[in-house]
Chain A
Amino acid sequence: QKEVEQNSGPLSVPEGAIASLNCTYSDRGSQSFFWYRQYSGKSPELIMFIYSNGDKEDGRFTAQLNKASQYVSLLIRDSQPSDSATYLCAVHTGANSKLTFGKGITLSVRP
């Protein structure tokens, strides 16, 4: 069974700190990796995707992928209270494969 695991959380960081969210996956054939942010009562919103090993930066967000170790992480620099939300990791293993989601981790940024 293909699985995507995220720390149960919640994760609490002070405003201005770096928040580090981690995700591991079981299928070595996984090819595409996504991070979604979901505010309470709202839909998941795509914030980052990464396909290749290494880092991908977009503003305050950096996605890191290590296929050898089968993990993908999301770093949020200069965390703001508005970053407080649940973050979902999703993994796509390839052609004819559905997207598999983790349970999500709730981030709380303290003012």
Chain B
Amino acid sequence: ETGVTQTPRHLVMGMTNKKSLKCEQHLGHNAMYWYKQSAKKPLELMFVYSLEERVENNSVPSRFSPECPNSSHLFLHLHTLQPEDSALYLCASSQERYTNQPQHFGDGTRLSIL
């Protein structure tokens, strides 16, 4: 099992659809993160969960809704997205939140909004 697994790898959806991204980590970490990666821009932190509690929401529009049912799983629910939301969405985990230990990333979901 790889450390952090994301599904699906690719997703194409219309602006009125509802879909969910899934992330699972097998590293025994307590913190999980959602990032957005757009071309020519730094990774943008979206959400941080620590022990299943959301500890940061980085001014993300409400059309993105995270869920963390347990410390190993993280979801990002999507609805009524906009074309500018097309990007690579990366999940990461670390031993604790905001630690100086490195974060480990999944392979991401490439999202395209029609």
Give A contacts to B, CB under 8 Å.
4, 31-32, 34, 36, 41-46, 49, 51, 88, 92, 94-104
Which residues on B sit within 8 Å (CB–CB) of A36? Answer: 105
Contact in complex: B42, A101 (CB < 8 Å)? yes
CA gap between A43 and B98 in the complex, in Å? 20
| A-B pairs with beta carbons under 8 Å apart, 11 shown | A42-B108, A43-B90, A43-B108, A45-B105, A46-B103, A49-B102, A92-B100, A96-B98, A98-B48, A98-B98, A100-B42
Give the contact-size bracket for chain B: 10 to 19
Closest chain A residue to B39 by CB distance? A103
Contacts A43-B108, A98-B56 given; indicate if A32 touches B100 (C-beta within 8 A).
yes
Which residues on A sit within 8 Å (CB–CB) of B110? Answer: 41
The answer to the question of B43 belonging to the interface, with a C-beta cut-off of 8 Å to chain A, is yes
Minimum CB–CB distance from B9 to chain A (whole Å) comes to: 9
CA gap between A41 and B106 in the complex, in Å? 11
The answer to the question of B111 belonging to the interface, with a C-beta cut-off of 8 Å to chain A, is no
Contact in complex: B42, A103 (CB < 8 Å)? yes
Contact in complex: B106, A103 (CB < 8 Å)? no
Which residues on B sit within 8 Å (CB–CB) of A88? Answer: 43
Minimum CB–CB distance from A46 to chain B (whole Å) comes to: 5
Contacts A98-B56, A102-B42 given; indicate if A46 touches B104 (C-beta within 8 A).
yes
CA gap between A83 and B61 in the complex, in Å? 37
CA gap between A99 and B43 in the complex, in Å? 10
Minimum CB–CB distance from A95 to chain B (whole Å) comes to: 6
Closest chain B residue to A5 by CB distance? B42
CA gap between A17 and B110 in the complex, in Å? 34
